[in-house]
Amino acid sequence: MTRTLRLALLTSTVLAGAASAQDVTLTIESWRNDDLQIWQDTIIPAFEAANPGIKVNFAPSAPAEYNAVLNSKLDAGSAGDLITCRPFEASLELFSKGQIADLTDLAAMANYSDVAKSAWQSDDGAATFCVPMASVIHGFMYNKAAFEELGLTPPTTVDEFYAVLDKIKEDGTYIPMAMGAADQWEAATMGYQNIGPTYWKGEEGRKALIDGSQKLTDEAWVEPFRQLAKWKDYLGDGFEAQTYPDSQNLFTLGRAAIYPTGSWEIGVFGPQIAGAFEMGAFPPPVAAEGDTCYISDHTDIAMGMNAKTEHPEEARKFLEWVGTPEFATL
């Protein structure tokens, strides 16, 4: 009996070892090190439970170093199986060099609009090489308590926008608008790309730049710079040395009334300001009442496949899952 039991245990151990030896581990390259927890605790367990035999390792790099690190790994042949894709040129270059694979035939691609896929396509639109994961929209958050205290309503036109800023500045209780210039990308992303689409008419202007019928020195592309130049009077003392975290803190601590930003801050700010004040949001102001308002829908992040992965079948299975409502909900 004892010998039989030992043999049974030995057999089951060998079989278990053989099964685990067949498991495939997919490694994800990413710059989103702030997302590590949700990948480890929520997303990966959900995929692994539904796909026994496939393990997933989320291995992010520091955001500022990601492009250089990823390019070095791809050149050396040591990159992970799945590649988190920046929008437009950075990923297009990887595809053009044959380093990330063509995913046009993935069934999940049917779940996305042309705009959603546009950041990860060849210039002719014939090939799509990354599965979109998220986009964000731009606009302005505001402190509702501050607005109520000062008798203000969210502006809809440019004139109303500056009138609101003037009243906040005149009162002196709050910094009218929290944005710094030290990190530079804020002025581009939360400034120019925030208000700009209203002037160049969104996709119409973007496509016109590409086909050459418009240029960056045209009025529609220059006027947003003039508007940004006016903002400096409302950004508070020392905004030139103010970093992105500084601006976040000024708003969440209730010291600034308006914060030019995007939807990515909602989940971050919500818990921080809970009980202190209520956030509101308004879209980029238009030049005149009745004008069409355009909002920047920023295609932000996607996932592709290392063209040299040793596990293309498993990687494609993961990417098909990325394109499902289940992943989006998680």
pLDDT digits (tens, 9 = 90+) for 146-201: 999 999 999 999 999 999 999 999 999 999 999 999 988 889 999 999 999 999 99
pLDDT for 20 beyond 70? no
Secondary structure element (H or E) that encloses residue 4, with its range: helix 2-21
Q: How many residues does the chain have?
A: 330
With b for 16 or more beta-carbon neighbours within 10 A and e for fewer, the 285-301 pattern comes to bbeeeeeeebebbbbbb
Of 137, 149, 199, give the one whose Cα is nearest residue 173.
149
Beta bridge partners of 140: 260, 282
Strands (E), 37-195: 54-60, 82-85, 131-143, 175-177
* CB of 66 closer than 8 Å to CB of 30: yes
Dihedral over Cα of 309, 313, 314, 320: its sign: positive
Read off the tokens for 178. Answer: 């929290």
To the nearest whole percent, how much of the chain has pLDDT over 90? Answer: 82
* pLDDT reported for residue 19: 45
* pLDDT tier, 267 (very low <50, low <70, confident <90, very high otherwise): confident
Q: Give the model confidence (pLDDT) of 73-105 as tens digits.
A: 999 999 999 999 999 999 999 999 999 999 999
pLDDT for 21 beyond 70? no
* pLDDT tier, 2 (very low <50, low <70, confident <90, very high otherwise): low
pLDDT for 3 beyond 70? no
* pLDDT reported for residue 16: 46
Give the SS3 label for residue 237. Answer: coil
pLDDT for 315 beyond 70? yes
Domains of the chain: 2-101+306-329 (3.40.190.10), 136-298 (3.40.190.10)
Secondary structure of 137-179 in the HEC alphabet? EEEEEEEHHHHHHHCCCCCCEHHHHHHHHHHHHHHCCCEEECC
pLDDT for 236 beyond 50? yes
* pLDDT reported for residue 45: 98
User: What is the rounded average pLDDT for all residues in the chain?
Assistant: 92
Mean pLDDT (whole number) for 224-253: 95
Mean pLDDT (whole number) for 278-293: 94
pLDDT for 49 beyond 50? yes
Read off the tokens for 165. Answer: 């800023």
Mean pLDDT (whole number) for 41-62: 96
Rounded CA-CA distance 328/127 in Å is: 23
Report the predicted TM-score, pTM, of the whole model to 2 decimal places.
Answer: 0.76
SS3 content of the chain, % helix, strand, coil (to 5): 50, 20, 30
* pLDDT tier, 1 (very low <50, low <70, confident <90, very high otherwise): very low
* pLDDT reported for residue 183: 86
* pLDDT reported for residue 268: 84
* pLDDT reported for residue 6: 53
Beta bridge partners of 60: 30
* pLDDT reported for residue 123: 87
pLDDT for 8 beyond 60? no
275: left (phi over 0), alpha (psi -120 to 50) or beta: left
* pLDDT reported for residue 4: 52
Secondary structure element (H or E) that encloses residue 244, with its range: helix 244-252
Phi, psi of 257 (to 5 degrees): -85, -35
Rounded CA-CA distance 127/139 in Å is: 32
Rounded CA-CA distance 271/214 in Å is: 43
